[in-house]
Amino acid sequence: VGYRIGQGDHVDSPESKITFVTVGYLLQYLSHNSQMVKKYTHIVLDEVHERTMDADMLHLLIKKLMEAGAWPSAKLVVMSATLQAGLFGEYFTPPGEEVRDPIFV
């Protein structure tokens, strides 16, 4: 398990199976390395109800990468204490696919 945040601060290795990153880090990483998205099996977005410009841009970038087929086997997990499941389900579901029922825990 590792982490990465801005200005190159990180603790992880090639053997890391899970890496926690900030919204800003992930936005910059995917913006400049969109071809690398294929190496990831899952992205977990937590606290999606916290709206910031970086978070909104990250959501848009992930949506566009998924729509473009750049990330065919990806699993996206969207979490929030106050999640509007229908809104986010419709937003992230590619055109022509059925919106899946949310899981509440």
Q: Could you tell me the residue ranges of all domains in the chain?
A: 2-92
What local confidence, expressed as pLDDT, does residue 105 receive?
67
Sheet holding 2-4, edge to edge: 10-11, 2-4, 19-21
pLDDT of the chain, 105 residues: tens digit per residue: 999 987 778 898 888 889 999 999 999 999 998 887 888 889 999 999 888 999 999 999 999 988 888 877 778 899 988 878 888 888 888 888 888 877 776
> How many residues in total does the chain contain?
105
Q: How far is CA 81 from the centre of its chain?
A: 17
Compute the chain's Rg from CA coordinates.
Answer: 14
- In the chain, which ranges are continuous DSSP H helix? 23-32, 53-67, 85-92
What local confidence, expressed as pLDDT, does residue 56 receive?
95
Topology adopted by domain 2-92 = Rossmann fold (3.40.50)
Three-state secondary structure call for residue 52: coil
22 within 8 A of 5, measured Cβ to Cβ: yes
